[in-house]
Amino acid sequence: MENPKRIYPWGHDRRFNAYSNYFRSLYGARVQKVSIDAGFTCPNRDGTRGTGGCTYCNNDAFNPSYCIPEKSVSQQIGEGIEFHKWRYSEAVSYLAYFQAFSNTYAPVERLRSLYSEALGFPGVIGLIIGTRPDCIDDDKLTLLKELSDKYYVAVEYGIESCYNKTLSRINRGHTFEEAVEAVEKTSSLGIKTGAHFIFGLPGESRTEMLEQAEIISKLPLHTVKFHQLQIIKGTKMEKEFRENPSDFELFSWDEYLMFFISFLERLSPRLVVERFTGEAPLRFLTGEGWGKKRTDQIVSLIEKKMEEMDTWQGKLYKS
């Protein structure tokens, strides 16, 4: 007789609180994100907080080919749905993902117009809005709260690191304290609140990266995304990496596999984990990266290793 599958605190038998399962529990089917580039910029690009942008950033490395700001929001959504159909044919509902740059960095009325256009597209049931902690205020939160009463709305803050020394070095233009304030204000209104972090930023030790699990677990977040650092061609960080490679703790695949499992073990089981890694096209990468491993393959490999180790998200978490 086979042993019964273990059911974890998040209500299913996968060994982490998976984003895809979360949406299946809400809607009973796969929900697919469709990216949009609405032509925003960032305050650390236009001189408000700084210039040059984050040292690692090249939006072309993760923007799908159909995401061109000269196209309308509706056109990008339509092309995005077609783009994803071959791979995610079972998806019947979509989330409009305002992804490129800082997607609350505009007057409220412009935001209302863009978000409403996206929500009016057939099959779109909600919004994911990627932005920065310093691009939110009470008026924008009021708009997002209004929309969240009718649709699925999530704000995804790029935080990247819990350490101000790192945020300064990568030219983020905001502090971790500002990020905490934005997360707390957004979450207090009942708006789904997410955050994005990068492992391997210059000057951070593996121990410091691992210790962020406890810090992140204390934030009133709903979802989290994690990426390994990738050195993208043409960025300021590429130049820094070539000049001072010893400042970087870049992960081999085998190293990241074990690091990320250790991180998950320390992460609150309450948090829904959307991504383990980033996936930039090879033509953008400095070096070989992890070869041709795709995101879904990486998830499978991590889950298989977690099963071998009989471990899971939150196993070592201390509330």
> How long, in residues, is the chain?
319
Q: Is the pLDDT of residue 136 over 80?
A: yes
Residue 29 to residue 41: CA distance in whole angstroms: 34
Residue with tokens 């529990």: 25
pLDDT band at 175 (very low <50, low <70, confident <90, very high): very high
pLDDT for the residue numbered 226:
97
Positions of E strands within the chain: 31-36, 93-98, 124-131, 152-160, 192-199, 223-228, 272-275
Give the whole-angstrom CA distance, residue 294 versus residue 79. Answer: 22
pLDDT tens-place string over residues 58-108: 876 666 777 888 999 999 999 999 888 777 667 779 999 999 999 999 999
pLDDT at residue 161 is higher than 50: yes
Residue 83 has a pLDDT of 84
- DSSP assigned state of 255: H
Q: What is the mean pLDDT of the chain?
A: 92
- Report the range of poorest mean pLDDT among 4-8, 125-129, 176-180, 252-256: 4-8
**Model confidence pLDDT, tens digit, residues 283-319:** 778 776 787 778 889 999 999 999 999 999 999 998 8
* CATH numbers and ranges of domains, the chain: 19-309 (3.20.20)
Backbone angles phi, psi at 226, to 5 degrees: -130, 140
Indicate if the pLDDT at residue 2 is higher than 60.
no
pLDDT exceeds 70 at position 3: no
Range of lowest pLDDT (144-153, 180-189, 282-291): 282-291
Mean pLDDT to the nearest integer, 162-180: 96
The DSSP 8-state label assigned to residue 120 in this structure reads T
Does the pTM surpass 0.85? The reply is: yes
